[in-house]
Every structure is written in structure tokens, then in C-alpha cells.
């Protein structure tokens, strides 16, 4: 199973998370988002970038409540709340955003 | 007929390193790998015992396993040498046999 | 709502030689979702898990030590470290990572998560729990 980024295949698992985290690119993020039926805008990117920074610093993808709490702190309560985050990522902000960010499935998600 | 001994267990967890050192012959080498590298630092409750049992034996540690565990080479006991993977291979080649203490 | 129970995760193994340390951390992160009072204890070789400067690139392992600094986000804010275990291994508090949490009840002030206790103090911590999980 693989995503097609301008003719290059990027392997992913059965749930759509990429296998090799080093293969992520912004172009790939757009391809994954399309597969998830998400139109990436500035807010989506802000969350995806936040997740990548979090992973870089702590080596884990945060659980959804940690993500929302942290986003609230860094970007304010109008973005960092359940309702808005689920509007951005209807199938779960942590799961879907992590997938687009090229990270593993969040620790603590089943 | 010298032997290269390898130890991969923490000396604080079991007796493997001390037993290994008690079974070495003069001219042997002991290479500490994985959690064995915790036996190479000075200023621990075991460093005197390790030094005392290593007379006539050359002690080495695998540098990548030291780095993984955040141990600076400056913390190594006296006369303990850090080697890389190529050095590991050289040690194996330079001895008549390798004995792994698991 | 069930009552909050005190959980202690006891860590006695070095970080990379076995999978215990990494598994413990993962279970703590997952378990943190259940709103219990979670603490971690580090004694014997478990104190090696918290050392700073771990660099696993050449050894080809995943360095999970930065994840301890995320525990505060998961409201795991009490990491008990045994003094005698540090002493025996030639370590001081200065050899450990600086792990902090933000205290929501105190204007998000950053406070240290690591609490150094004596062996007798660790016994008290253990005796004070509802559930003790060993790794």
C-alpha cells in the first residue's frame, strides 16, 4: 500500500500511516489529506506543523486531549477547542492530523 | 591463546560481569556492550571491584552503546578503551576465541 | 465517576537492554487517559532511564528519553528517584534530564517533576499506593 507523490511511491500501513517517517514532505501531506477528504488550509497546516514540532521534541504523537490542550495554549482557545478541532479534522484531530503530519498513530489511541 | 569476553548485562542487575572477570586469564580482553557498558564508569559502587578483578586483562567498551546511554567517555574508568564497530571486529579477529557472557 | 486511585509504575531496568523501560512509559501514557493519580518510581537500574545526553543514532535504537519531558502534558508530575540507586551508580541529580511540568493551579508555573527520595522514603511511597505496577 502506498501513496503516489508525483510518481514516487510512499509506503503506508493498513490505516494510512506512513511506514518511514523520513519520507514525509509537504507534497505528501497534501496527498494524504486528499485521501482523507480534507482540503488543507492555513489552520490545518498550523495543527500539522504543531504536531511535527511536538514529535521532534518529545518523540511521541500526543493523545487528542493533550493536543487540544497544547494547541489552546500556543494558538489560543478559538483554535484549541474540541468543536473547532473536529471541524478541521472530522475523523479525529489527533489521528487524522498525525496521519497527514507523517507521524505514527498517537500513543493512547485504539 | 587469548580470549575475548563480551558482557551485555548491567553489573548492578546481576553477577555476570564479576563472574566473567573472575574467569579471565592474563592477556584476555573484556568488551562491554549494551547494558554491560554501565560497568565501565568510575565512581560507582562496583568500580573498585571491576578494577580489582581486571589485573592483566584489557577492558573495552562499545562507543555507540555508551552514547545511547548518555555516558561521556570522560566518565570511563582508568585504562578502559572505547571502540567502534570496526574496533569490535578487530578485537574478535585478534583473539583465538570469543566467549559471550549472557 | 469512580474514585481516583493512586497508581505507581515501578521502573527497575536500564533503558535499552530490555524492552521494559519503553513499555512502561507507553503504558503510563495510555493509562494517563483514565484520570487516576499516576506516579512513577525509578530505582536500581531504572535511574539510568532518566540520564541526559542519550544519543542512540549510532546504536540504531529509538531514543525515547525525550518522551519523559512530555509526561507533564499527561498530568504525570511525580517522578520519584531513589538517592541510594543514584549513589551506587556514580550519578547525581545533575546527570538526569531536567523534567518539568506546568502547575495549572499556580498560574502555569514550571515546577520540577523529579523528586529524589531515600530508600526508606521510596518504601513509604510504595506503601501509599492503591496499585503498583512493576517493570
What is the span of the domain harbouring residue C99? Answer: 6-134
Element (H, E) at A31: helix A26-35
Q: What is the 3-state secondary structure (H, E, C) of C6-46?
A: EEEEEECCCCCCCCHHHHHHHHHHHHHHHCCEEEEEECHHH
Q: Alpha-carbon distance A33 to A12, whole Å?
A: 14
Low-confidence residues of chain B: pLDDT under 70: none
Q: What is the pLDDT of residue A79?
A: 87
Catalytic residues of A: 109
DSSP H stretches of helix in chain B? 16-22, 47-53, 63-68, 85-94
Chain A meets chain B (3+ C-beta pairs below 8 A): no
Sequence-distant (6+) residues with CB within 8 A of B89 are: none
Residues 6+ apart with CB under 8 A from C124: C117
Task: Report chain B residues whose CB lies below 8 A from the CB of C17.
Answer: 8-10, 34-35
- Give the C-alpha separation, C56 to C49, whole Å: 13
> Which residue from A70, A69, A51, A71 is spatially nearest to A61, judged by alpha carbons?
A51
- Residue C34 with chain A: CB contacts under 8 Å: none
CA–CA dist C45, B36 (Å, integer): 12
Q: What is the CATH number of the domain that holds C50?
A: 3.40.1260.10
Cβ of C30 within 8 Å of Cβ of A70? The answer is no
Query: Does residue C13 belong to the interface with chain B, where contact is any CB pair within 8 Å?
Result: yes
Query: Which residues, 6 or more positions from C3, have their beta carbon under 8 angstroms from its beta carbon?
Result: none
| Closest residue to C16, CB basis, from B13, B41, B69 | B69
Regions of chain C short of the pLDDT cut 70: 1-2
Closest CB to B70: pick one of C17, C54, C88. Answer: C54
At A105, is the secondary structure helix, strand, or coil?
A: coil
User: H/E element holding B58?
Assistant: strand B58-62
Element (H, E) at C133: strand C131-134
For residues A100 and A108, the model is more confident at A100
Residue of C35, A26, C129 lying closest to A6 (CA atoms): A26
Which chains touch C (3+ CB pairs under 8 A)? A, B
Q: What are the domain boundaries of chain A?
A: 2-100
Q: Which domains does chain B have, with CATH numbers?
A: 3-101 (3.40.1260.10)
DSSP for C64-124, written as a single string = -GGGGGGGGGGT--EEEEEHHHHHHTT--GGGB---EEEEGGGTTEEEE-EEEE-HHHHHH
Report angle CA C113, A82, A108 to the nearest 5 degrees: 50
Within 8 A of C67 by CB-CB distance, chain A residues are 58-60
pLDDT in tens, C22-32: 999 999 999 98
Question: Cβ contact (<8 Å) for C44 and B12?
Answer: yes
Q: pLDDT tens digit string along C90-117? A: 999 999 999 999 998 999 899 999 999 9
Fold of A2-100: Arc Repressor Mutant, subunit A (1.10.10)
H or E element that contains B44: none
Q: Specify the number of domains making up chain C.
A: 1
Distance CA A24, CA A10 (A): 9
Among the listed residues A42, A23, A25, A47, the one whose alpha carbon sits nearest the alpha carbon of residue A96: A47
pLDDT at A41 exceeding the cut of 70? yes
Asked if the structure places residue C113 within a domain, the reply is yes
CB contact under 8 A, C73 and A60: no
pLDDT bucket at A109, cuts 50 / 70 / 90: low
Rounded Cα gap, residues C53 and C66, in angstroms: 10
Query: What is the ipTM, given to two decimal places?
Result: 0.88
Residue C1 located in a structural domain: no
Nearest CA in chain A to C66: A58
Question: A21 φ, ψ to 5°?
Answer: -60, -25
For residue B76, give the DSSP letter: B
| Nearest CB to C51; choose among B8, B12, B69 | B69
Instruction: Compute the distance between CA of residue C90 and CA of residue C84 in angstroms, rounded to an integer.
Output: 10
Look at residue A108 in the predicted model and tell me its pLDDT: 63
pTM of the model: 0.91
Amino acid at each position: 500500500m502506498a501513496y503516489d507523490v508525483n510518481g514516487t511511491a510512499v509506503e503506508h500501513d493498513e490505516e494510512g500511516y506512513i511506514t518511514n517517517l523520513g519520507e514525509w514532505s509537504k507534497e505528501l501531506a497534501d496527498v494524504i489529506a486528499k485521501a482523507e477528504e480534507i482540503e488543507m488550509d492555513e489552520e490545518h497546516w498550523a495543527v500539522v506543523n504543531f504536531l511535527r514540532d511536538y514529535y521532534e521534541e518529545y518523540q511521541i504523537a500526543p493523545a487528542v486531549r493533550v493536543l487540544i490542550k497544547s494547541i489552546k495554549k500556543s494558538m489560543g482557545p478559538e483554535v484549541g477547542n474540541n468543536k473547532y478541532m473536529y471541524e478541521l479534522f472530522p475523523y479525529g484531530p489527533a489521528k487524522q492530523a498525525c496521519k497527514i503530519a507523517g507521524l505514527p498513530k498517537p500513543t493512547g489511541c485504539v | 591463546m587469548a580470549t575475548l569476553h563480551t558482557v551485555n548485562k548491567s553489573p548492578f542487575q546481576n553477577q555476570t560481569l564479576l563472574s566473567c572477570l573472575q574467569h579471565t586469564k592474563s592477556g584476555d580482553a573484556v568488551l562491554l556492550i549494551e547494558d554491560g557498558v554501565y560497568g565501565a564508569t568510575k565512581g560507582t559502587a562496583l568500580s573498585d571491584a571491576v578494577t580489582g578483578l581486571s589485573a592483566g586483562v584489557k577492558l573495552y567498551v562499545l562507543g555507540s552503546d555508551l552514547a545511547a546511554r548518555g555516558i561521556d567517555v570522560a566518565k570511563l574508568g582508568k585504562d578502559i578503551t572505547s571502540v567502534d564497530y570496526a574496533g569490535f571486529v578487530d578485537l574478535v579477529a585478534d583473539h583465538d576465541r570469543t566467549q559471550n557472557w549472557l | 465517576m469512580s474514585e481516583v486511585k493512586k497508581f505507581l509504575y515501578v521502573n527497575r531496568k536500564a533503558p535499552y537492554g530490555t524492552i521494559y523501560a519503553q513499555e512502561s512509559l507507553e503504558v503510563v501514557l495510555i493509562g494517563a487517559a483514565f484520570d487516576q493519580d499516576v506516579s512513577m518510581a525509578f530505582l536500581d537500574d531504572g535511574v539510568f532511564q532518566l540520564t541526559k545526553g542519550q544519543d542512540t543514532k549510532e546504536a540504531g535504537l529509538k531514543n525515547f528519553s525525550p518522551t519523559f519531558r512530555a509526561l507533564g502534558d499527561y498530568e504525570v508530575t511525580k517522578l520519584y528517584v531513589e538517592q541510594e540507586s543514584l549513589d551506587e551508580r556514580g550519578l547525581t541529580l545533575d546527570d538526569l534530564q531536567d523534567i518539568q511540568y506546568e502547575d495549572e493551579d499556580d498560574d502555569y508555573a514550571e515546577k520540577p517533576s523529579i523528586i529524589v527520595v531515600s530508600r526508606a522514603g521510596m518504601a513509604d511511597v510504595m506503601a501509599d499506593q492503591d496499585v503498583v505496577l512493576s517493570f
